[in-house]
Amino acid sequence: MMAMMLGVLAWAMSVQAAEAKPGTSLSGKRLVIIDDDVIGLNGVPLLLLQSPDVAVLGITTTSGSVWRDTATAYALRTLEIIGRTDVPVVPGATFPLINSAEATKRWEGQYGRLIFKGPWTDYWPGDTIQDHPGSSDPTKVPDLPIGNPSRKPSAEIAAAFLLRMVKAHPGEITLFATGPMTNIAIAQSMDPSFAANVKEILYMGGSLAPHQALQGASAEQFAREFVNSPRREFNIRWDPEAARIFAHAPWQKISMIPVDPSTGTQWTRAFLDGLKPAGTALTDALQNGPQPGFPMWDEIAAMAWLNPEIVTKDETLWIDFETSQTAAYGDTLSWGEAYRPHLGEQAQRVILSVDRAKMEAAMAALYRRPVSASSNGGKISTGAKARR
């Protein structure tokens, strides 16, 4: 009888171990997945990858600021630069759920031109400082200024990867969504339990009442985005229907980083030069990475989670997004608890301002950390296979 009991116990333990994979030996590390329209070395991926207490299970890519395949190339190259080719890059949506270039042109014919349309951008004033987002052809991946990747992405699709990882680690994964919400919406539509099993989601998107906080040509040009349309923001406007699906999903915890706090931040030459003495592959690459003058949009999402003390003002609001084909298409809707419509919108923590000096100091410390190959020690097993 004792032998039988021991045998049953051993069988149960083996089943439990098998079900717990992947990632069962990540003792003490916080698990994250990054869903992003990756462009260059800025954004969430580097900061989380450089954080010693964080295990990045994967980067899923989507179109937004650039096409998905370009974002995928940037993600792959970023991982090569810091020696983290153990992290899978999983391509996701190329196009929004419903929105399209043709529909956007029709909308503009009624309501006026959008300032920025990602790779659909066909109007670029001559005085614009930042680079044009590139080709209108989603299959054309340009040569990257940080070098082209030699590695291939996963053969899996982003929504499937998201569902698989969350099922493997229910209630343990923090999801960073710093591009349009298309992959998130697809995953939630495929499995209505998806959002409820994510520990927390932080996203860069939406806009409430931003105002220009810094002086200079770059700050003035980025203010074009919101000065006459304070509720419009690109990540949401690219795929409003996906954003609405996201906003109605039963997340355990949501943190919103709208445009508002980003107006008090900016990449500068002085900040990048301050990284040079570290002399790592990453700090060297960063010298030709983020464009000085750009706001630190996505970085706020990473640093508010890694270093909560940088947040100087936040508020709980109920958030939704406009999907009617009107002048407000893609706009952010918000209410206090007493005034919300009770139509499925969720309470969100909205970050409204940050301490720029504290944030930059914490970012610099992470960027200066030594980089080494597979710093998770081979302990992450995501099961993703490279595309051949």
pLDDT at residue 302, as a whole number: 98
- pLDDT per position in the chain (388 positions), as tens? 334 333 333 333 333 333 334 433 356 899 999 999 999 998 999 999 999 999 999 999 999 999 999 999 999 999 999 999 999 999 999 999 999 999 999 999 999 999 999 999 998 888 888 888 888 899 999 999 999 999 999 999 999 999 999 999 999 999 999 999 999 999 999 999 999 999 999 999 999 999 999 999 999 999 999 999 999 999 999 999 999 999 999 999 999 999 999 999 999 999 999 999 999 999 999 998 888 999 999 999 999 999 999 999 999 999 999 999 999 999 999 999 999 999 999 999 999 999 999 999 999 999 999 986 544 444 555 776 665 3
Helix (H, G, I), strand (E, B) or coil at 346: strand
Question: Tokens 């609405």 label which residue?
Answer: 244
Q: Which of 387, 371, 377, 372 is nearest to 23 (CA)?
A: 377
- 69 close to 158: Cβ distance less than 8 angstroms: no
Q: How far is CA 53 from CA 26, 27, 30, 63, in A?
A: 10, 10, 6, 29
pLDDT at residue 273, as a whole number: 97
Q: Which of 252, 234, 363, 375 is nearest to 306 (CA)?
A: 363
How far, in Å, CA of 68 to CA of 375, rounded? 27
How far, in Å, CA of 76 to CA of 282, rounded? 14
How far, in Å, CA of 237 to CA of 113, rounded? 13
Q: Which of 56, 33, 31, 71 is nearest to 153 (CA)?
A: 71
pLDDT at residue 135, as a whole number: 87
How far, in Å, CA of 257 to CA of 271, rounded? 22
Helix (H, G, I), strand (E, B) or coil at 197: helix
DSSP code per residue over 280-338: -HHHHHHTTSSPTT---HHHHHHHHHH-GGGEEEEEEEEEEE--SSSTTTT-EEEE-GG
Amino acid at 285: A
DSSP 339: G
pLDDT at residue 372, as a whole number: 60
Burial class from Cβ neighbours inside 10 Å (0-12, 13-18, 19+) for residue 80 reads: middle
pLDDT at residue 126, as a whole number: 81
pLDDT at residue 387, as a whole number: 55
How far, in Å, CA of 154 to CA of 177, rounded? 19
How far, in Å, CA of 153 to CA of 89, rounded? 5
pLDDT at residue 118, as a whole number: 96
Q: Which of 224, 298, 313 is nearest to 265 (CA)?
A: 298
User: Hey, what are 210's tokens?
Assistant: 């931003």
CA triplet 191, 31, 96: central angle to 5 degrees? Answer: 45
- 61 close to 71: Cβ distance less than 8 angstroms: yes
Report how far Cα 343 is from the mean position of its chain's Cα atoms. Answer: 26
pLDDT at residue 128, as a whole number: 86
Helix (H, G, I), strand (E, B) or coil at 30: strand
